Amino acid sequence: MASRRIAQSSVNWAALAERVPPSQKPNLAVFKTMSDKYLRSVLANPENPPKLDWAYYQKNVPIAGMVDKFQKAYEALQIPYPADTVTAQIEAQEKQVKEEIVKFIKESESRIAEHQKQIASLRALLPFDQMTMEDYRDAFPDQALDLQNRPSFWPHTPEEQDLTQPKAEHH
Question: What is the C-alpha to C-alpha distance for residues 52 and 107, in angstroms, rounded to an integer?
Answer: 65
**Position 150 in a domain:** no
The torsion of the CA quartet 17, 22, 23, 24, rounded to 10 degrees, works out to 0
**Position 71 in a domain:** yes
Say if residue 105's pLDDT is above 90.
yes
Bridge partners (DSSP) listed for residue 146: 150
Q: How confident is the model at residue 1 (pLDDT cuts 50, 70, 90)?
A: very low
**Position 14 in a domain:** yes
Bridge partners (DSSP) listed for residue 150: 146
**Position 170 in a domain:** no
SS3 (DSSP) at 156? coil
Q: What is the pLDDT, as a whole number, of residue 153?
A: 62
Q: Where in the sequence is the domain holding 118, given as residue range(s)? A: 92-142
Q: What is the pLDDT, as a whole number, of residue 2?
A: 45
Say if residue 171's pLDDT is above 60.
no
Which of 6-20, 30-44, 55-69, 123-137 comes out lowest in average pLDDT? 6-20
With pLDDT > 70 as the criterion, what percentage of the chain qualifies?
A: 85
Q: Does an H or E element contain 134, and which?
A: helix 133-139
Say if residue 59's pLDDT is above 80.
yes
Question: What is the C-alpha to C-alpha distance for residues 169 and 171, in angstroms, rounded to an integer?
Answer: 6
